[in-house]
Amino acid sequence: VADAFPAERDITAVPAAKKLEQLRQAIHQQDPVALKQRLESQSVVLLQGEDLDHASHMLWALEARPAALKELRKAAAGSNPVSLEAAIEAAAATGVADSDLEAASLALEGMRSMAWVYAPEDGKHMDIRAE
């Protein structure tokens, strides 16, 4: 009974293999347009597993990366270490270049180690070196 429809099994196997190869090519090329086309095609229902999950994540990362990079640069130019830390995490998740992440990390270190200045309430500074 299992071999009653061997031709039908071959018909679905060949397109699935071809679609899987096209999906893998789009992932390798990191082409968001090709990835979107592959994921939105009706034949994607033939695919399942890690390749489909990887393609979905890759598409998300490619589409989110420009916004994450913009937010990272904006936060690095600011003075809020909490927002910069969040921007670094988002940028890392989307695959922003290591050089941008490193620059933002250095900016974060600079924000965290800002010079401490004592400002007495009465406005009078006491020079302890004089004694």
- Could you give the number of structural domains in the chain? 1
In 10 A of CB 75, how many CB atoms? 24
Q: What is the pLDDT of residue 10?
A: 44
Structural domain of 44: 6-118
Q: Which amino acid is at 87?
A: A
Residue 21 has which token pair?
């190869």
Residue 60 domain flag: yes
Q: What is the pLDDT of residue 46?
A: 60
Which of the residues in the chain have pLDDT under 50? Answer: 1-2, 4-12
Q: What is the pLDDT of residue 91?
A: 97
Residue 123 domain flag: no
Closest CA to 103 of 115, 87, 114: 87
Residue 131 domain flag: no
Tell me 114's DSSP state: P
